[in-house]
Amino acid sequence: MKHRSWLFVPGDSERKLAKIPDCGADVAILDLEDAVVSRRKPLARDSAAAFLNDHRDAPLPALWVRVNPWSSGLTRDDLAAVVPAGAAGIVLPKPDSVRDVRQLDEALTELEAAHGLTPGVIRVLAVATETALGVARLSSYTESPERLWGLAWGAEDLSAELGATTNRGRDGEFLMTYRMVRSLCQLAAAAAGKPAIDTLYADFRNLDGLRQISARARREGFVGMLAIHPGQIPIINAAFTPSAEDIEFARRVVDTFAQQADTGVVALDGKMLDRPHLQQARRMLQLVDTD
């Protein structure tokens, strides 16, 4: 299963939900949180559950759900609606530490048992940097539940908490604080042995900008990216898809090291490669094989 593109779809919009089958995303996130105003959250919950029930066996993107954060008091009701309906995963917003993920793990374990689901079948993506406390406690994810699939980062809620009027400079790039947070999230994911997903690119009409950002994110080690518009999906998918040449070279790196198992440095195509190159090659092939 690929996890390159993660498209947010408001759970209260039947029109947008209906477009999911043709959106091209690897993961569609039925959103019960920020995309839905308070008075429509019950409607969004019911609509998301109905959509999940109606598309259990359809050839769709993986259907995940962004529930409301624990601080809202709505999380358990969200889970009770979407878990039995067939959600493949849960996106957890605004966790203050891995403790919030553990609480979600316990709730999901209970619901899986109650509805005859395989234990741990529902995975979790934590948007780990939306609160200042969450950023301060990123190191806690080194001891995370098995069902935690990966970490993503977000800047919008964090900038609101910091009292900032913007999180980007005049050049459109994230300001220093948010670049630091992005790096810290990626490091926390690597330390926990989990994939990292880059945040969304809000200027959805600027496809050239998205192309540059997504390509850079892949070079830096992110495995996918959040999206807010279907038009972003082809660019994100392309950016996070290794070329046939990249895959072939990675296989040759692994094979060369296997043939020279007693050395830490090998020569390939006129270049000297050491163990970090082997690790990079293995990681690429692991992602390809998992997909």
In terms of C-beta density within 10 A (0-12 exposed, 13-18 middle, 19 or more buried), how is residue 134 classed? buried
User: Going by C-beta distance under 8 Å and a sequence separation of 6 or more, which residues neighbour residue 182?
Assistant: 129, 153, 155, 174, 198, 199
Average the pLDDT over 119-130 and give the result.
98
Average the pLDDT over 166-184 and give the result.
94
Four-residue CA torsion sign, 208, 209, 215, 216:
positive
pLDDT digits (tens, 9 = 90+) for 226-256: 999 999 999 999 999 986 677 777 788 787 7
Which tokens sit at 208? 């050239």
Domain ranges of the chain: 5-239, 244-290
Among candidates 184, 180, 220, 222, which has minimal Cα distance to 200?
Answer: 222
pLDDT digits (tens, 9 = 90+) for 271-286: 878 877 777 777 777 7
Residue 287 has a pLDDT of 66
Query: Does the pLDDT at position 291 exceed 60?
Result: no
Measured CA to CA, the distance from residue 266 to residue 246 in angstroms comes to 18
Q: Would you report the helix, strand and coil content of the chain in percent, each value rounded to 5? A: 50, 15, 35
The chain-wide mean pLDDT, for the chain, equals 92
Measured CA to CA, the distance from residue 24 to residue 19 in angstroms comes to 10
Residue 274 has a pLDDT of 80
Topology, domain 5-239: TIM Barrel (3.20.20)
Task: Specify the residue for token string 């997504």.
Answer: 214
Query: Does the pLDDT at position 27 exceed 90?
Result: yes
